[in-house]
Amino acid sequence: MLDDLKLIHERDPQDALGTAEKQWQQLEHVFDVNQQQLDATNVVYAAMGGSALAGQVSAVWPGYKLPFEVVRGYDIPTYVSDKTFFIAASYSGNTEETLSVLDQAEQRGAQIAVIASGGKVADIARQKGYPLALIPDAKQPRYAVLYNLKALATLLEKSGLLAADDAEAEIHQAASYLHEKLQSWLPTVPTKDNLAKQIAQECMGKSVVVYAGPKMAPAAYKWKISFNENAKHVAWWNQYPEFNHNEFIGWTKQPEQKPYAVIDLRSNLEHSRIQKRFEVSERLLSGLRPAPIVVEAQGETLIEQLLSTIALGDFVSIYLALLGNINPTPVDLIEKFKKTLGD
């Protein structure tokens, strides 16, 4: 079925696959934002869902010179002060949690910047003169992750708070690499040569559990998001070494029938003990859980491995949606929930 281009077009009317194919271009977008060098003691990134993912990625790459925290919720940490660089990110610009924490950060006198495509958050930034990185249209927040990452890297590099020496150059190189890798997963590539289609077929009809080490953890989280929103599948994620301290034993007994697809996102850049934990866990759990689908991260640098693994998950989840005759783009129930919550 996944090699039937006519059927794919019918089941993907809003061209989620086309969006996934072009996502590398987001890394080349230039954000014209008036961000100055800062005197700060910590960085807080406030966002939800797909917008929050960019913060998780940034903690792994390019990293920070200062303590950094991603805040998901209605309240800010007690340590936020006028020495905090506070970044409020919301694709729609109307995320109620982000608006709540932005107001609190203002009351604390934090140094504020905003990432949004519009909405109330962007209006506040314009009214009060906060640095504003405007995200172009990407249909859905989960499709704007690389825009978010580039915007965040731009703000942080201009503020002088990044650990990386030249994040801009690394992003440009990663964009070229990602463009090349995406060609392997396009719908025109037959299933026998297409890893994304093969993994999607293995996940059909199963709940998906994705595991990774600390460096690939943001990719595992993005796979979970993509399975949820693109494929409308229940999915979870976790990371090593925490997995071995609790969830590991959960696979050994109940439920006896395990209708799951287990996916391991591995990287040769992870700590050697993390790599060994994957191997030992797979051996000891053999016969107690489904054999994991092992995905070896591709690329020479950490950002190449992160972004290409994230992109692979996008294609896998979209193909899984199409296998189930599901339109991958809309998230109608989330929109209904937001409207109902506002009543």
Q: How many CB atoms lie within 10 A of CB 343?
A: 4
| CB contact at 8 A, 149 and 57 | yes
Chain Cα centroid distance, residue 176: 19
The pLDDT value given to residue 258: 85
pTM, full prediction: 0.94
| CB contact at 8 A, 129 and 101 | no
Q: What is the pLDDT of residues 165-218, one digit of tens each?
A: 788 889 999 999 999 999 999 999 999 999 999 999 999 999 999 999 999 999
Q: How many CB atoms lie within 10 A of CB 205?
A: 10
Q: Which of 32-36, 314-318, 326-330 has the highest average model confidence (pLDDT)?
A: 314-318
State the chain's mean pLDDT as an integer: 95
Decide which of 3.10.20.600, 3.40.50.300, 3.90.1300.10, 3.40.50.10490 is the CATH code for 5-13+176-323: 3.40.50.10490
Q: Could you give the dihedral angle defined by the CA atoms of residues 136, 138, 140 and 144, in that order, rounded to the nearest 10 degrees? A: -80
Position 343 pLDDT exceeds 70:
no
- Whole-number Cα distances in Å, 166 to 27, 41, 158: 14, 21, 11
- For residues 82 and 95, what is the distance between their CA atoms, to the nearest angstrom? 24
SS3 of 230, please?
coil
What is the CATH code for 17-168?
Answer: 3.40.50.10490
The pLDDT value given to residue 162: 82
To which H or E segment does residue 113 belong? strand 111-116
Contacts of residue 174, Cβ cutoff 8 Å, sequence gap at least 6: 27, 299, 301, 303, 304, 307
Q: What is the pLDDT of residues 126-160, one digit of tens each?
A: 999 999 999 998 878 888 999 999 999 999 999 99
Q: How many CB atoms lie within 10 A of CB 82?
A: 11
| CB contact at 8 A, 85 and 180 | no
Tokens of 241: 């070494």
Beta strand ranges found along 15-64 (DSSP E): 42-46
Q: How many CB atoms lie within 10 A of CB 275?
A: 16
The helix-helix angle for 302-323 and 195-203 (nearest 10°) equals: 50
The pLDDT value given to residue 307: 97
Tell me if domain 5-13+176-323 and domain 17-168 are identical in fold.
yes
Chain Cα centroid distance, residue 321: 18
Mean pLDDT over 326-335 rounds to 89
| CB contact at 8 A, 225 and 50 | yes
Domain-by-domain residue ranges, the chain? 5-13+176-323, 17-168
Task: Tell which residue, 123, 70, 113, 69, has the closest CA to residue 92.
Answer: 123
Tokens of 267: 């990287």
SS3 of 85, please?
strand
Position 78 pLDDT exceeds 60:
yes
Position 118 pLDDT exceeds 90:
yes
Q: What is the pLDDT of residues 311-327, one digit of tens each?
A: 999 999 999 999 999 99
HSE-up (13 A, CA, CB side) for residue 119? 20
